[in-house]
Structure 1
Amino acid sequence: MNLLPEGTSVWVPAILIFVGIVGIVIPVIPGLLLAVLGVLLWAYETGGTTAWTFFGVCLAIYAAGVIIQFLIPGKRLREQGVKTSTLLLAVVLGIIGMFVIPVIGFIIGFVLGIYVIEHGRTRDRAQAWSRTKSALVAVLTSMGIELCAGVLIAVTWVIGVLAT
């Protein structure tokens, strides 16, 4: 059973992967997930051991990217003295910010949330600002990790297309 019209078995997944990578840089959609779904669609349409093997590799890259994306920045923030409860509250504020300011609201809400929470906790502007800068670096690091995983998924998919 084909999900795609004849002759589009490579183009539609390519567009999904491209839009997914753009979605990583402009966080409107779950970019990494969209990229791996593009590869899944390609593997389903192409069929065969080779296509499914390449999908498995892309799925492993996706899982590693998601795990690393949360471990490394979170560890650095905790080393700077930012508590896990602060991070969780900042994520909630980031989600609220996403609805208030489309596209960049999550980042603004998250970073502003770190500052407000840390300032309220420590009553020290310098320390709150230092931890806020660390949060901004963590957000950018997380996006960089996700972008690397997205590009690796795209490259793996291209190799898979060429191999099938």
Structure 2
Amino acid sequence: MGASDLLLVGLVMLLGLCGVLLPGVPGSWLVWAAVLWWALEDPRPVTWWVLVGATVVMLLSQAVRWALPSRRPRATDATRRTMAYGGAGAFLGFFLLPVAGAIPGFLAGVYLAERLRLGSHDAAAGSLRTTMRTGGSSVLAELFACLLIMGAWLGAVFWG
């Protein structure tokens, strides 16, 4: 697989990560489809192991999301900007503190967005709790699964 094809796969994955933050967009399935595309184009065994792992992670994340509250961040005054901050925080946290940093990064991003919007610590903390209870945890679970898949893909591309 050439460098331009790998770049396209990476761009589809980034589009999928952004899609996770927007209600109604099948972001996680875009990430999985990018891994499928890569595995079909690159016949090495590692690509198929990454695809199998991505499939398992996707199925587990769908089961976890089913058990969590539904995605209704609009009902809590959480804006798209809030979810964008949370997504950026999760992305940065995932790479700054490998894997585990995505969760505190997401929380910090949502808190920062709410702090900027509302102005006080108490209001931002309350809004963070409400956001996580009414759909933020579902978004975080799906985003974390997609980051795991993307991290496995990056690992296989660079070190596999």
Q: TM-score, length-normalised on structure 1?
A: 0.57
Gaps of 5+ in 2: 77-128
Cα distance, 1:50 vs. partner?
1.2
Amino acid at match of 2:54: C
**Matches of 1:27 and 1:21, distance apart in 2:** 12
**Matches of 1:46 and 1:11, distance apart in 2:** 14
Instruction: State the Cα RMSD in Å.
Output: 2.6
Cα distance, 1:25 vs. partner?
1.4
- Number of residues paired by the alignment? 108
Q: Which residue of 1 aligns with 2:91?
A: none
- 1:54–1:157 CA contact under 8 A, matched in 2: yes
Which of 41, 48, 60 is matched with 1:52 structurally? 48
Which of 64, 73, 80 is matched with 1:68 structurally? 64
Is 1:18 aligned with 2:2? no
Is 1:41 aligned with 2:23? no
The structure with the larger Rg is: 1
Structure 1 residues 1-164: aligned runs within 5 Å: 7-73=3-69, 107-108=73-74, 111=75, 137-164=133-160
Cα distance, 1:73 vs. partner?
2.9
Percent sequence identity over matched residues?
Answer: 19
Deviation digits for residues 95-144 of structure 1 (CA, Å, limit 9, x no counterpart): xxxxxxxxxxx643xx49xxxxxxxxxxxxxxxxxxxx968723111001
Q: TM-score, length-normalised on structure 2?
A: 0.58
